[in-house]
């Protein structure tokens, strides 16, 4: 009967250990663990795709390539929604018999929501220069939609307000657009309809967290969401 070896085990020679490492095994023939990318480890589930296991960048579980694709999809979706609002605003504007551009409609909406305001304040609300706001006010006054008066508290300032015709036009245009948007929203399933505003609000809030200069303001409310037409920016 052979005697069992109970003595100390020999330490493999460095050369043997090197050959085992090249084969991906231990010196005893068992599969070794390699820290190289793509090898089995605690951070990668068996059978999982190689993408989506990047940590420390973006959301856990998404690779840089996947995050780029997601960002592009969000961009396309938001741009499509913005174009939709511009198109609906333009259609609503075409429903009245007064020749107006979208920037001019924005001016009327600003006066409608803010009441009589100074020319400089309207320019700031619209994001234009005072001279551009003045030209716009002159055109709208020529259409009988606005009225310019000298500020009694400071005769060097001009105060703008809507006329009765201007008030009526704004209400008709916004009412027309509201009805079209309501018809679209009503076609959405209830879960999608409920998540629409929170998702868009969260996106705007995240932008403000990333850059305070992108933080949401109340401009959209003052202008009733009427956007400039990028293809027709003339006042």
Residue ranges, the chain, pLDDT below 70: 1-61, 216-235
Return the pLDDT at 195. 92
pTM for this prediction: 0.62
Return the pLDDT at 222. 54
Return the pLDDT at 30. 52
Sequential DSSP letters for 128-184: --HHHHHHHHHHHHHTTSEEEEEETTEEEEEEEEE-HHHHHHHHHHHHHHHHHHHHH
Return the pLDDT at 123. 87
Fold of 64-189: Arc Repressor Mutant, subunit A (1.10.10)
Ordered alpha helix ranges (H), the chain: 14-23, 64-94, 102-114, 119-126, 130-142, 164-186, 190-210, 219-222
């Amino acid at each position: 009967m052979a005697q069992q070896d109970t003595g100390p085990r020999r330490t493999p020679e460095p050369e043997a250990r090197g050959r085992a490492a090249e084969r991906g095994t231990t010196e005893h023939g068992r599969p070794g663990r390699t820290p190289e990318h793509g090898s089995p480890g605690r951070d990668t589930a068996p059978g999982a795709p190689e993408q989506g296991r990047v940590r420390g960048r973006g959301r856990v579980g998404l690779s840089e390539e996947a995050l780029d694709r997601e960002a592009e999809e969000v961009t396309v979706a938001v741009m499509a929604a913005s174009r939709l609002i511009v198109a609906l605003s333009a259609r609503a504007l075409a429903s009245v018999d007064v020749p107006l551009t979208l920037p001019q409609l924005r001016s009327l909406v600003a006066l409608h929501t803010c009441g009589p305001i100074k020319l400089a304040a309207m320019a700031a609300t619209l994001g234009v220069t005072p001279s551009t706001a003045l030209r716009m006010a002159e055109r709208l006054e020529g259409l009988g939609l606005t009225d310019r008066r000298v500020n009694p508290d400071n005769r060097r300032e001009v105060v703008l307000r809507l006329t009765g015709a201007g008030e009526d036009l704004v209400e008709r245009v916004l009412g027309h657009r509201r009805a079209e948007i309501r018809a679209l929203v009503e076609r959405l399933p209830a879960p999608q309809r409920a998540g629409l505003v929170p998702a868009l609000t969260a996106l705007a809030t995240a932008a403000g967290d990333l850059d305070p200069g992108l933080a949401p303001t109340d401009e959209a409310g003052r202008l009733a969401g009427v956007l400039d037409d990028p293809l027709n920016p003339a006042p």
